Amino acid sequence: MIYAFTIDSTSFPAAKVTKISDIMNLALPLALTGAGLIFLVITLSAAFNILTHGDNPDALKKAYGSMTTAVLGLIIVIASFLAIRLLGVVLKTDIIPK
């Protein structure tokens, strides 16, 4: 006996995704939240290293370097988010997360 089934949005949630903008609307807020949390952890770790290793110039240099890297990473993430929003406006799609 052969069983057949249909794939629709009620039985298979992935069938709700019909456009790439649907995927972007799901992925962008998650990616930005993850990037923000990573930035927070790296910044707090660097600040803790600055406070605890205040007399060691090598440790201070490493902590300032990691804080600089965290800030540059956050700037890159924000710039890429703005570029995707601009791309959504230019292409007149709904890539802009709600």
Q: Report the distance separating Cα 29 and Cα 17, nearest Å.
A: 16
Please, which pLDDT band fits residue 19 given cuts at 50, 70 and 90? confident
The residue that leads in pLDDT, 12 or 46, is 46
pLDDT at 23: 77
What pLDDT, on the 0 to 100 scale, is given for residue 84?
83
* Distance set, CA 53 to CA 2, 33, 57 (Å): 70, 30, 8
pLDDT of residue 2: 66
Quick: pLDDT tens for 36-95. 999 999 999 999 999 998 888 999 999 999 999 999 999 999 998 888 888 877 877 665
